[in-house]
A and B are shown apart, each in its own frame.
Chain A
Amino acid sequence: MRARRIEETIFKGLMLASLVLVLIMLAGIIVITVYKGAPALTLSMLVETPKGGYYLGKEGGIANAIVGSLLLALGASFCSILIAIPVAFGLQKEYTSWRYAGFTKLVLDVLWGTPSIVYGAFGFVVMVYFGLRASLLGGIIVLTLLMLPIMVRSMEEIIRTIPLELKEISYAMGTTKIETTLAVVLRQALPGIVTAVLLAFGRGIGDAASILFTAGYTDFIPRSIFDPVASLPLAVFFQIGTPIPEVQERAYASALVLLLIVLCVSLISRILSHRFSKNIVR
């Protein structure tokens, strides 16, 4: 009896220690970013594009990277949603045999695990083939490829948890598959779909390697989708690599902005998800 109680205590302790470790890491990231970045985070950082000598510590800001990152991530999220929702529904057993669905899921898992630099290199090869140069469009396409497996797999998992009884009830009223899918299953899955989009958005906006060659970098805000575009992860990367302390501080400020954007999107998606789930019985 004593031994079992000790065992219980040890495992409880282990769980608590792991939890604390995770929280410390999260807090560490936030504290360091705020501590090193907050002093450099001025209004001109947010609203101005880099002026001459910005990378030497002179006038300007990172508005080009903020706008660029938002354009890239929102554009890619939009494209991914359009593709991912039909795929996620199509993988359900009403539409696809389990053998084919299983194979597709395996492929998606492999894509999910593929390093983003590989997506970047792939995108670059394709762009060279078509004679495109680094642009907003190229960045959006490659980010869509990167986000798609994440979105499809998380949506598919959510849709699969929808109780069969609910679908039965809908079918029993004489609905077709597509009516049940759109009017009942989609609504029931909506909170989960929002979470899936958030997950993919977070990965997309934070990724540097895939857009390095495909979106490029520029000090200007793009005027069309064929212009190159700056992004926050690359802004962090370039600025932190300089030997000038003021510019390094700006890298942390850029990282802080990135962190705040992800935080805002999480909050918005939480609110949306909560609003959508009031109709749902679990």
Chain B
Amino acid sequence: MPHISLKNLSIAYGHHRVLQDVTVNIPDKQITVIIGPSGCGKTTLLKSLNRLLDLNEDVKVTGDVLIDGVNTYDGNADILALRKKMGFLSQRPYPLPMSIYENIAFGPKVHRMSKDRIVQQINDLEGRMVQVPSKKNGQMDILVESYLRLAGLWEEVKDRLHTPASRLSIGQQQRLALARALAVEPEAILADEPTSALDPLSAQLIEKQFKFLKKNYTIVVVTHILRQARRIADYVIFLYLGELVEHGPAEKVFDNPSDERTRAYVSGEIS
């Protein structure tokens, strides 16, 4: 059974219904892309997966979002543990108001990871026993380096780890956000139009990272760029006016859609 599955999920803001009766399984360790016109509920669907929707007022959710078999909208669900499992990339990559180093260390510190736990995390990540220098915060230094490497940012920032993250370019900020999210050891990465504020080269780097990371993480990307969806998607969810119109493997949805609306959207007749 997939890690993330939605059953009859409906979401409304006040009286405005945004998503209706969505049922879909999100395949593990693939890139699932949610496509559809503006205002069709893509971001709402994504944010329902880690309950970021709770920050909005007056949201009504019915149906189930099952993460590892647990219904996250059950009153007893541990929201903090759930969010820890789901790394999140926002449309605009805000760095936390601290240094590059502290941005990465933020998650492990908040979750009060012990030194031994961090060493184990590094070993798991690198797939080998890593020698940790015995100086103060040695294990955190290695952790920060590992995740910056994983996000493809290390070479660019290794000499200025303790400068404010706000000085990075916006493309670097998005890769920093990726490293920061990964440092919390999520199982999935949720990305809300992660390249829409980026220049084409930075966007390409992010796409490359996603393709690299999918061997270990389930990745869900919202995008309104159809060409991007074609480049990176393994699995596609097409939403139209709050309705789940079609979902399936990327080749199927792009090359041989079964619904007329999907065909019209992927061929560019509607946008």
Interface residues of A (CB under 8 A from B): 93-94, 163-176, 179, 183-184, 187-188, 190, 278-281
Contacts and interface: CB of A to CB of B under 8 A. Distances in A.
A281 B167 CA distance: 8
Given A169-B177, A183-B106, A279-B97, A174 B80 contact: yes
Nearest to B107: A173
Interface in B161-175: 164-167, 173
A171 B95 CA distance: 14
Given A163-B94, A279-B166, A172 B52 contact: yes
Interface in B101-141: 106-107, 110-111
A170 B96 contact: yes
B247 interface: no
B50 to A, nearest CB: 6
Contact of A167 (B55, B86, B164, B180): B55
B164 A278 contact: yes
B77 to A, nearest CB: 13
Given A169-B88, A169-B94, A280 B166 contact: yes
Interface string B163-200: 01111000001000100110010000010000000000
Contacts of A279: 97-99, 164-166
Contacts of A165: 90-92, 94
Contact of A93 (B57, B88, B181): B57
A94 B54 CA distance: 10
Contacts of B90: 165, 168-169
B166 A173 contact: no
A170 B87 CA distance: 11
A190 B97 CA distance: 10
B81 interface: yes
21 contacts: A164-B55, A165-B94, A168-B55, A169-B90, A169-B94, A170-B96, A172-B86, A172-B87, A172-B190, A173-B110, A173-B184, A174-B80, A174-B83, A179-B110, A184-B96, A190-B97, A278-B164, A279-B98, A279-B99, A280-B97, A280-B166
Contacts of A166: 94, 96
Contact of B97 (A93, A173, A179, A184): A184
Interface of B: 50, 52, 55, 57, 80-84, 86-88, 90-92, 94-99, 106-107, 110-111, 164-167, 173, 177, 180-181, 184, 190
**From A163, A167, A171, A278, residue with most partner B Cβ within 10 Å:** A171
A184 B107 CA distance: 12
Given A168-B55, A279-B164, A174 B94 contact: no
Nearest to B88: A172
A279 B167 CA distance: 8
A280 B164 CA distance: 8
Top 7 closest pairs, chain A to chain B, by CB: A172-B88, A174-B84, A279-B97, A174-B83, A187-B97, A166-B94, A279-B164
Given A166-B94, A176-B80, A281-B94, A171 B110 contact: no
A173 B180 contact: yes
B188 to A, nearest CB: 12
Contacts of A176: 80
B239 to A, nearest CB: 21
A171 B107 CA distance: 10
**From A94, A183, A281, residue with most partner B Cβ within 10 Å:** A281
A170 B83 CA distance: 10
Given A168-B55, A169-B96, A175-B110, 18 more contacts: A93-B57, A94-B55, A163-B94, A170-B96, A171-B52, A171-B55, A172-B87, A172-B181, A173-B107, A174-B111, A174-B184, A184-B96, A188-B97, A280-B166, A281-B95, A281-B97, A281-B166, A281-B173
Nearest to A172: B88
A172 B110 contact: no
Contacts of A167: 55
A278 B110 contact: no
Contacts of B84: 173-174
Contacts of B95: 281
Nearest to A167: B55
Nearest to A278: B164
A188 B99 CA distance: 13
A184 B180 CA distance: 14
Nearest to B181: A173
A175 B96 CA distance: 13
A24 to B, nearest CB: 39
A190 B84 CA distance: 27
A186 B153 CA distance: 27
Nearest to A170: B96
Contacts of A280: 97, 166
B52 A174 contact: no
**From B55, B81, B96, residue with most partner A Cβ within 10 Å:** B96
Nearest to B92: A165
Contacts of A94: 55
A173 to B, nearest CB: 5
